[in-house]
Amino acid sequence: MTAIVIDGKAFAAKVRGQVAEHVSRLKDEHGLVPGLAVVLVGEDPASQVYVRNKGKQTVEVGMASFEHKLDVTTSEADLLALIDRLNADPNVHGILVQLPLPDHLDSDLVINSIDPAKDVDGFHISNVGLLGTGQRSMVPCTPLGCLMMLRDHHGSLSGMNAVVIGRSNIVGKPMAQLLLGDSCTVTIAHSRTADLPGVVRQADIVVAAVGRPQMVPGDWIKPGATVIDVGINRIEKPEGGTRLVGDVDYAGCAAVAGAITPVPGGVGPMTIACLLANTVTACCRANGLAEPQGLTA
């Protein structure tokens, strides 16, 4: 079997198109402009690239982008004061604090100071609890993007066996909650899982979120399964230079799977698209308006 390639780049463009339509309707019918504030502390090069991309795409879909770049020495009190101002600002519907923060800042404290209704990353403890209890919440962007691609490919996920490899708070755990919400039978595997190959071989859906280059070989995959590769790892090429690979051996898995997301061009582009979707959702909720269909969990 040769797997269908799930094109995350094209899917993300479609999601951004839907977001842009909603933004335009909100402007025309209600005079509202959804706004996303992104806070970056310090000069981590990867974070700077992410923040630039987020700002660019926010503007491209017609939303307002507010970038706050703070010095690496910024005190916790100053950062919390900025978040307070953004919480109170009616033009800001979404707030994202770019992680990781410098060591002297307490990430949990900072994230939990964001108004949960504006927490478009879905990391606030209230949103974690709401998701875990199946209530309306802001959903973390990367797992939301994975869920959208799975729903698009399969229609209903009900009754499917899903194995999520990785138990992080930002990907593995919320991914498992979302799959449970769609009535999958869910296993969360991790670094201490006994017989990981045997566990993965039971899966109709495999979501790999480990951060280890190409660790899932094709012979762990049940024929016809769907493989969602969240990993983004940079490896050296034999001829020199580097390239990006995921957490699965793409060629090996694609030969057995029914469908697979590539790296790059799979889950990655969906993450920012879902951030924009969450910002529109937050704007609609803040104004008592109907939420956009198909852009939330």
Provide the binding-site residues for ligand NAD, judged by CB under 6 A: 142, 165-168, 170-172, 189-191, 193, 196, 209-212, 230-233, 267-268, 271
Following DSSP, what letter does each residue of 107-151 receive, concatenated?
A: HHHHHTTS-GGGBTT--SHHHHHHHHTT-S----HHHHHHHHHHH
Residues 6+ apart with CB under 8 A from 193: 199
d(C-alpha 225, C-alpha 266), whole Å: 16
Q: Are 211 and 231 in contact (CB under 8 A)?
A: yes
Smallest distance from ligand NAD to CB 272, Å? 8
Task: Provide the residue type at 58 as one letter.
Answer: T
| Gap between the Cα atoms of 165 and 206, Å rounded | 8
Do 191 and 168 form a contact (C-beta atoms < 8 A)? no
Which residues are part of the catalytic machinery?
54, 98, 121
DSSP 218: G
Q: How far is the CB of 169 from ligand NAD (least distance, A)?
A: 8
Q: Looking at beta carbons only, is 70 or 196 nearer to ligand NAD?
A: 196
Name the minimum Å distance from CB 27 to ligand NAD.
Answer: 29
Smaller CB separation from ligand NAD, 71 or 108: 108
Helix (DSSP H) and strand (DSSP E) numbers for the chain = 10, 11
Say how far apart CA 178 and CA 39 lie, in whole Å: 27
Q: How many CB atoms lie within 10 A of CB 194?
A: 7
Q: Which residues pair with 231 in a beta bridge?
A: none
Selection from 17, 88, 89 nearest residue 276 by Cα: 17
Instruction: Kindly tell me which of 37 and 210 has the beta carbon lying closer to ligand NAD.
Output: 210
> Which C-beta is closer to ligand NAD: that of 95 or that of 164?
164
Q: Identify the bridge partners of residue 189 per DSSP, sorted by sequence position.
A: 165
Q: Please, which residue, 144 or 283, has the CB nearer to ligand NAD?
A: 144
* Euclidean distance between CA atoms 153 and 23, whole angstroms: 26
Measured from the CB atom, the residue of 167 and 222 that comes closer to ligand NAD is 167
Looking at residue 33, its amino acid is V
Q: How far is the CB of 28 from ligand NAD (least distance, A)?
A: 32
